[in-house]
Structure 1
Amino acid sequence: MFLESYQTCHKSEEVREIDVCKEAFQTVGGNVLNGWDNMRKTGMDLTYLTKIEQQKINAINDWADMVASV
C-alpha cells in the first residue's frame, strides 16, 4: 500500500526494493579493516590492496553508494 502510494506521488523517482533478509551484505571484518588501515596509512587507493581486500571494500562501497543516492 505504501509503495503504491509513494510511486503514484513520485512518478519520476526510481524505487528499488531490497529484501534485507535475503541480501548477502558484506561484513566489516579483518580484511576490510586491514585494507582501510593500509589505505589510511599509505594514502594509496584500492589498487594496492590484496584482491580479497579490494573485493570486500568494493562490496561495502557499492551498498553505501546505493543508500547514499536515495
Structure 2
Amino acid sequence: MSAPGIAVIGGIDTHTDMHQAAVIDSVGRHLDTQSFETTAAGSAQLLVWLRARGDAIAVGMEDAGAYGA
C-alpha cells in the first residue's frame, strides 16, 4: 500500500457481478489488485480502496457503455 501523497492511477475491468480493479503508481509500478461487487456498496468500497493507495490522478474504466455504466 502506498502512502497518501503518492500519485496513483486506477483501472477497472467491468463485469456483470464483480468489477476487477488495479492501481499503479505514477511510474507504472503495480501496487494492488482487488475485486468489488457491482453494487453501490461495492463501488463505495472500490473508491475507499483506491484512495487508500494514494492520490488518484486518473481512473480508466473498460466497457463504460455497458457493465461500467
TM range (shorter): under 0.3
Quick check: which has more Rg, 1 or 2? 1
Task: Compute the TM-score of the two structures, normalised by the length of structure 1.
Answer: 0.27
How does the TM-score come out when normalised to structure 2? 0.27
